[in-house]
């Protein structure tokens, strides 16, 4: 079976498309409820999966990534995983600590995009659709199962109809905040470039605006220009999807790694701490110290010193003192004097 | 514009820590310094040495980063972790041979010297070099660097007044000069 595929990417792509196909088969009640208006998005998504797997596989084959992925998956059932996952992936607590402005912007953008995806992908693949058995009542069908009956003029139905309008406003607000920051913040201005930092923002902005224009066309113009606008919207969405794995937006699918990394650090720190070869204080888990030594070795970087330790086995203050020793010949790292305060107050 | 490099003449350092203070004021450094001033022989002498990211040509931090968050700029500066990519594993702090990267637990983010990329990419010296009162940290062109290094070669290369490469792990974009004299047997410190 291993030899049936030309590469890992091919294998992953094949299985992913199979799973999608099966899910659609079940979800659409054996292909009886496909929304063909969304056909273009389906093709776009399959292309996106190809690109994503290509990017993901190239990335996952790097030695450090491989280690975190493998050990992170193994530790996924840790007790702290739900809390870490919520803080890292849902409430963005660490971004709050970087500032309220960036947090607000990220909540609007992040949840605007996630909610939109949660609405559109099930509709595209037929995992969710609506039927109207009795007049005035919609039945929500998820994965081929009737899950909910809602009044067509009720507030839940209102939220269903307008979900993408609401998320569009969230995304537009978030994009505007992000663009304002990119125009005003000096550090951002120094490092940003058009393709990496601005293009994803513009894509999200245009997707949201054209999406809202579809609603506007329905509400105020009796559907004038709807066919053209829906094609433009579709084109922009597909471009965004195809671009996603290769630009800044790639951090969306890759972000769960931060949960892996936290679990990895916490779990192995509980197991055994690495004692600094000079001062004997634990500074990192023994596992991580060993992993870093291995990864550096795979990259042809060897920091074995004549004294018989690898630099990754020294705590940070000792490592700095050791470097000064290499400059001056005075072995201060074997003395007990603490490093002077290194934190200036700005 | 000729390519400019950061050059550290370590014996000039008087321990004023202006470089630390200036570092906090660089745009995006968020009022926190990213460099170090180390004592050469604490309780014995007042001599200090500035220690900062030397911007390795083959940076161990970037090699060990699982998220590819540490990028290398066109001028050789090894940038601080990209905020959206850094996953907070701290591999870089363990990998760095000089113990330079700092980590913010609250923000789940590594930060390190980026050679004040907003300044240095325009040819403006990094904050630390622009404030250093004793010319310990210098921002010089490569030809000026070659001149300085030529002075260190004495008697047609028979003697070396500064041990340049040996004390480092691999080639770096930041150049250093140590006051070692006479083939490293004796130091001025």
Q: Is residue B182 part of a domain?
A: no
Range of B161's domain? 4-177
Per residue, what are the HEC states of B108-173?
Answer: CEEECCCCCHHHHCCCCCCHHHHHCCCCCEEEEEHHHHHHHHHHHEEHHHCEECCCCCCCCCCCEC
- Asked if A77 is an interface residue toward chain B (Cβ–Cβ < 8 A), one would say no
Whether residues B51 and A303 touch (CB distance < 8 A) is answered with no
Q: Is residue A12 part of a domain?
A: yes
Percent residues over pLDDT 70 in chain A? 99
State the pLDDT at residue B185.
43
Question: In this structure, what CATH number is given to the domain that contains residue A84?
Answer: 1.20.950
Whether residues A251 and B84 touch (CB distance < 8 A) is answered with yes
- pLDDT surpasses 80 at A105: yes
Among B52, B14, B15, smallest CA distance to B33 is for B52
- Number of folded domains that form chain B: 1
State the pLDDT at residue A81.
94
Q: Read off the pLDDT of each residue in A67-83 and give the average, rounded to a whole number.
A: 93
pLDDT in tens, A127-148: 999 888 888 899 988 888 888 8
Whether residues B23 and A344 touch (CB distance < 8 A) is answered with yes
Of residues B170 and A236, which shows the higher confidence score?
A236
- Asked if B149 is an interface residue toward chain A (Cβ–Cβ < 8 A), one would say no
Q: Is residue A181 part of a domain?
A: yes
A166 lies in the same domain as A225:
yes
Helix %, strand %, coil % of chain A (to 5): 70, 10, 25
Q: Read off the pLDDT of each residue in A269-283 and give the average, rounded to a whole number.
A: 92
Q: Is residue B148 part of a domain?
A: yes
Among B174, B178, B177, B175, smallest CA distance to B55 is for B174
Answer yes or no: pTM beyond 0.80. Answer: yes
Range of A69's domain? 2-258
- Asked if A184 is an interface residue toward chain B (Cβ–Cβ < 8 A), one would say no
State the pLDDT at residue A188.
83
State the pLDDT at residue B45.
87
- pLDDT surpasses 50 at B183: no
Final residue in a domain of this structure, among A224, A258, A292: A258
Chain B: give the shortest CA distance to residue A12, in Å: 21
Residues of chain B contacting residue A251, judged by C-beta atoms under 8 Å apart: 84-85
- Number of folded domains that form chain A: 2
State the pLDDT at residue B180.
60
Distance of alpha carbon A319 from the chain centroid = 34
- Asked if A278 is an interface residue toward chain B (Cβ–Cβ < 8 A), one would say no
Q: Is residue B189 part of a domain?
A: no
- Mean pLDDT, chain A, integer: 91
Final residue in a domain of this structure, among A234, A258, A282: A258
Q: Read off the pLDDT of each residue in A113-121 and give the average, rounded to a whole number.
A: 93
Whether residues B170 and A311 touch (CB distance < 8 A) is answered with no
Query: In which band, very low, low, confident or very high, does the pLDDT at B169 lie, cut at 50, 70 and 90?
Result: confident
Query: In which band, very low, low, confident or very high, does the pLDDT at B188 lie, cut at 50, 70 and 90?
Result: very low
Among B115, B143, B79, smallest CA distance to B6 is for B115
> Which one of A276, A301, A343 would you mutate to disrupt binding with B, by most B Cβ within 10 Å of its Cβ?
A301
State the pLDDT at residue B181.
52
Return the structure tokens found at A193: 């470039």
């Amino acid at each position: 079976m291993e030899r049936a595929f030309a590469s890992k990417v091919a294998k992953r792509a094949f299985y992913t498309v199979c799973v999608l196909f099966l899910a659609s088969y079940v979800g659409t009640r054996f292909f009886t409820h496909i929304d063909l208006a969304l056909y273009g998005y389906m093709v776009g998504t399959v292309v996106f999966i190809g690109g994503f797997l290509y990017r993901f596989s190239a990335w996952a084959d790097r030695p450090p990534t491989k280690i975190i992925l493998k050990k992170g998956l193994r530790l996924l059932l840790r007790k702290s995983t739900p809390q870490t996952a919520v803080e890292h992936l849902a409430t963005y607590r660490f971004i709050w600590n970087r500032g309220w402005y960036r947090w607000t912007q990220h909540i609007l953008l992040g949840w605007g995009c996630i909610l939109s995806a949660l609405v559109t992908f099930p509709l595209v693949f037929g995992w969710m659709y609506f039927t109207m058995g009795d007049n005035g009542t919609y039945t929500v069908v998820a994965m081929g199962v009737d899950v909910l009956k809602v009044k067509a003029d009720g507030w839940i139905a209102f939220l269903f109809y307008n979900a993408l309008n609401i998320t569009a406003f969230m995304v537009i607000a978030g994009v505007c905040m992000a663009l304002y920051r990119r125009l005003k913040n000096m550090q951002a201005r120094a490092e940003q470039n058009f393709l990496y930092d601005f293009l994803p923002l513009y894509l999200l902005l245009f997707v949201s605006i054209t999406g809202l224009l579809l609603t506007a066309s329905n509400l105020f113009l009796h559907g004038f220009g709807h066919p053209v606008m829906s094609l433009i919207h579709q084109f922009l969405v597909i471009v965004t999807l195809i671009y996603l794995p290769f630009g800044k937006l790639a951090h969306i699918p890759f972000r769960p790694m931060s949960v892996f990394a936290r679990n990895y650090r916490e779990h192995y720190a509980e197991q055994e701490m690495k004692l600094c070869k000079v001062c004997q204080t634990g500074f990192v888990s023994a596992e991580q110290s060993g992993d870093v030594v291995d990864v550096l070795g795979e990259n042809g970087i060897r920091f074995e010193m004549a004294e018989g330790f690898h630099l990754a086995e020294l705590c940070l203050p000792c490592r700095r003192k050791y470097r000064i020793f290499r400059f001056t010949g005075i072995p201060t790292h074997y003395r007990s004097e603490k490093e002077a305060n290194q934190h200036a107050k700005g | 514009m000729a390519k400019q490099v950061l050059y550290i003449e370590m014996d000039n350092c008087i321990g004023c820590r202006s470089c630390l203070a200036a570092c906090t004021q660089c745009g995006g450094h968020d009022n926190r310094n990213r460099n170090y001033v180390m004592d050469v022989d604490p309780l014995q002498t007042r001599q200090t040495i500035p220690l900062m990211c030397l911007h390795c040509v083959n940076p161990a931090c970037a090699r060990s980063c699982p998220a590819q968050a540490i990028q290398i700029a066109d001028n050789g500066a090894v940038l601080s972790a990209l905020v959206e990519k850094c996953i907070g594993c701290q591999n870089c702090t363990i990998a760095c041979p000089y113990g330079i990267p700092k980590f913010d637990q609250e923000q789940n983010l590594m930060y390190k010297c980026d050679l004040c990329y907003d300044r240095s990419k325009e040819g403006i010296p990094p904050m630390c070099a622009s404030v250093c009162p004793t010319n310990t940290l210098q921002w010089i062109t490569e030809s000026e660097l070659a001149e300085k290094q030529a002075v260190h070669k004495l008697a047609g290369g028979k003697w070396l007044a500064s041990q340049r490469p040996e004390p480092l792990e691999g080639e770096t974009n930041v150049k250093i000069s140590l006051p070692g004299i006479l083939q490293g047997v004796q130091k001025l410190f």
